[in-house]
Structure 1
């Protein structure tokens, strides 16, 4: 039995069956350097999914490693938020400034799920309501409240929730009633639908709209730029808050703006963040208007949120992103890869769409005979890229999307290499599906 097969057998004996694993023969990642990793059987890969967007600037980055080592050397790896935490204050100052939110304050958590729970709590308390708005095809985490605002059935375990949610259009241009509309016409239709929801389905006050500028689990589907600005004009009429879930779109990844929501020309009332900020160390948080953050009357702490190790990593990572202008690099490399994929897709019958911004892009697969979403083809591309030395992810409403988010430090040579592997894998799967 191979090393990976043995480990998989042990995994299945003690881990829940619903913990998803990639590949028919799952692999263990045991080492990483730069933008490459090595598995437990010695195979090397260029990583285009980075721990689900968490190793944002790659592996074994000296600036991050040394910052963490300096903190560990003090002997203080944890004290809790019951004490002043210098690194937490420094990182909060940077995030508050970058957010553009007036009089912003920051609360740190351990994950994006917990960050979204905190934002929902702030909205529910401030607005004195359990009613929320969310987007179809969205994903906001696996906890009770976060599942409630998740608009993807495959990730929703329960039909009841602590929040009462109305789901909006905005990232579903593929539907027949929308597919022929221009961006402007689609935005107009979505705004009118929002007004109709507020006039019909919503009973009384609504707390907030929570939305991902680019839907992660949804397969990197996205609203046209400007939709959330148009939505906020309506929300402001009712006093409804806007929460931007930046867990996957923050820190310059889209290339177009530092936070995804900024591409819509609007400043939200709150933003949630996590994943890449600490380059693999557990981190999450909310940045919100100070009056919203200060409104909660009950005492609150986060035992591990904002711990010294994560803060050291977070400060070093954010400084690295800013000092090396990685937003510009994301824009440049993304243009190369997305443009290359779109050119290749012209001759590939299995490709339904190529979409993305910066270093956040996806390929949607469909049955060449019927045009229907094809999860098996996405799985085949996942396997084909791994065989060729590239790690990618999978998602989408129907599980038929290959999604990728390489490190923001991706080089010209690595972008060309990744594009070549992707193109070759797609051509191979296309040939098998159409022969």
Structure 2
């Protein structure tokens, strides 16, 4: 039955729409931190639909909110007053830390970043964007144009002039051997030098932790140091929180807060986990930036009632159950457990991350050379052991990505770590 579906998939969908595993699986249902495939196999889910099932599969509070809203009205568009949209916008504006904030809802992180780029270039009257090397910001034409990861950049054509800055990868690149303070100083010097050779850019867009890039991050404080340079020149800072938001990193509700001495960003983009699987994305910006457009703009499906109901229920559950604190506690235990395993596996170069956003970089033993085949072998072995994980990487790296729902228990973390240990040991 799955083979038949795979044949139909290949016959009608694009070749570049990749599937995990040598024998792809169809996930039919989930509950809590577990999912089941069409063959009845049960898996512990350590990837959450690419960090999207943020609280839990089939969370009763969310399914109830969606069901009740569907029984009233599903959609009316942004041309009419929408109570759930206003209520969720109020909560996100307050949580964002951005003063006098306005919120615009979209249907994805790609569209959120696309909107932020539109706002920044219009507000600053510049089409030059600063972006980080090894970054990923989505699959739209403009988002691809600012993505610094070759594996996710199918074209060099772009409506934007993009300049790439050092700093997103702490343990690779020309500054990797420096200590944290020296690393930050070198990256700031590089940014300052770059700005001396170009017309003033509109904005810097940066993920506090690079998601698709393999969960890499700079030392805390880098973006605060960047902000000081940018602020002097009126250049905006866009924090891409599509993967890092809502407490996933444990220590902070937003990833930018690890770099917060200079205050919040000018804009913040979000998506992924807020809808717990429903399609929600959005932008938070200071009012003068959000309101700078002088032409009509709407989002037909952004902020639709049924997704807003899901987002409100999901956010309420996350805050009331302190899932950020759970990510910090359980994630910390999981990282230490995996580092202990990695110390005995020569193919593991690094275990990195914070909270429940953990990357395991795999290389050829004794070298810094990426080993994507070994990473794929671990992915397969983990699935055979009943665990679903992700993969990513850039800059000639191969990384395993671990990002379970934030309600993960200590027992489940230990169970998943055991499966990962066996999978890692299988590649030597």
1:262 maps onto 2:260 in alignment: no
Q: Deviations along 1:383-419, whole A, 9 cap, x unmatched?
A: 0000000000010013611101000000111111111
Identify the residue that residue 39 of structure 1 maps to in structure 2: 37
Of 114, 117, 127, the match for 1:117? 114
For residues 176 and 91 of structure 1, do their structure 2 counterparts lie closer, same or farther at Cα, with a shift above 3 Å needed? closer
1:5 maps onto 2:33 in alignment: no
Identify the residue that residue 48 of structure 1 maps to in structure 2: 46
How far the C-alpha of 1:178 sits from its partner, in A, is 1.7
Instruction: Give the count of matched residue pairs.
Output: 425
1:243 maps onto 2:241 in alignment: no
Identify the residue that residue 433 of structure 1 maps to in structure 2: none
The TM-score, its normalising length taken from structure 2, stands at: 0.98
For residues 175 and 415 of structure 1, do their structure 2 counterparts lie closer, same or farther at Cα, with a shift above 3 Å needed? closer
Q: Deviations along 1:135-193, whole A, 9 cap, x unmatched?
A: 00000000100001100111111112011010001123333632221111000000000
How far the C-alpha of 1:371 sits from its partner, in A, is 3.7
1:88 maps onto 2:88 in alignment: no
For residues 369 and 186 of structure 1, do their structure 2 counterparts lie closer, same or farther at Cα, with a shift above 3 Å needed? closer
User: Please, which runs of 5 or more residues in structure 1 have no aligned partner?
Assistant: 431-435
Counterparts of 1:260 and 1:176 in 2: how far apart (Å)?
Answer: 22
Q: Deviations along 1:341-365, whole A, 9 cap, x unmatched?
A: 1111111100011000100001000
Of 395, 409, 413, the match for 1:415? 413
Identify the residue that residue 103 of structure 1 maps to in structure 2: 100
How far the C-alpha of 1:4 sits from its partner, in A, is 1.9
Counterparts of 1:160 and 1:13 in 2: how far apart (Å)?
Answer: 29
Q: Deviations along 1:211-243, whole A, 9 cap, x unmatched?
A: 000001000011110000000000001000000
Superposed, 1:62-77 pairs within 5 Å as 62-74=60-72, 76-77=73-74
Q: Secondary structure at the match of 2:85?
A: helix
The TM-score, its normalising length taken from structure 1, stands at: 0.96
How far the C-alpha of 1:97 sits from its partner, in A, is 0.2
- Paired residues of 2:170 and 2:219 also in contact (CA < 8 A): no
Identify the residue that residue 227 of structure 2 maps to in structure 1: 232
Identify the residue that residue 313 of structure 1 maps to in structure 2: 310
Counterparts of 1:403 and 1:412 in 2: how far apart (Å)?
Answer: 19
1:140 maps onto 2:137 in alignment: yes
Q: Which segment drifts farther, 416-425 or 271-280?
A: 416-425
1:154 maps onto 2:157 in alignment: no
Superposed, 1:3-402 pairs within 5 Å as 3-74=1-72, 76-175=73-172, 177-200=174-197, 202=198, 204-265=199-260, 266-368=263-365, 370-397=367-394, 398=396, 400-402=398-400
Counterparts of 1:312 and 1:369 in 2: how far apart (Å)?
Answer: 51
Q: Secondary structure at the match of 2:36?
A: strand
- Paired residues of 2:28 and 2:37 also in contact (CA < 8 A): yes
The RMSD of aligned alpha carbons is 0.9
User: Please, which runs of 5 or more residues in structure 2 have no aligned partner?
Assistant: none
Runs of 4+ in 1 over 4 A off after TM superposition: none
Counterparts of 2:250 and 2:172 in 1: how far apart (Å)?
Answer: 28
- Paired residues of 1:378 and 1:399 also in contact (CA < 8 A): no
Counterparts of 1:179 and 1:19 in 2: how far apart (Å)?
Answer: 34
Counterparts of 1:90 and 1:197 in 2: how far apart (Å)?
Answer: 42
Counterparts of 1:150 and 1:177 in 2: how far apart (Å)?
Answer: 20
Counterparts of 2:427 and 2:229 in 1: how far apart (Å)?
Answer: 46
How far the C-alpha of 1:369 sits from its partner, in A, is 5.0
Q: Secondary structure at the match of 2:57?
A: coil
Counterparts of 2:342 and 2:172 in 1: how far apart (Å)?
Answer: 21
Counterparts of 1:333 and 1:428 in 2: how far apart (Å)?
Answer: 25
Q: Which segment drifts farther, 28-37 or 165-174?
A: 165-174
How far the C-alpha of 1:295 sits from its partner, in A, is 1.1
Q: Which segment drifts farther, 281-290 or 369-378?
A: 369-378
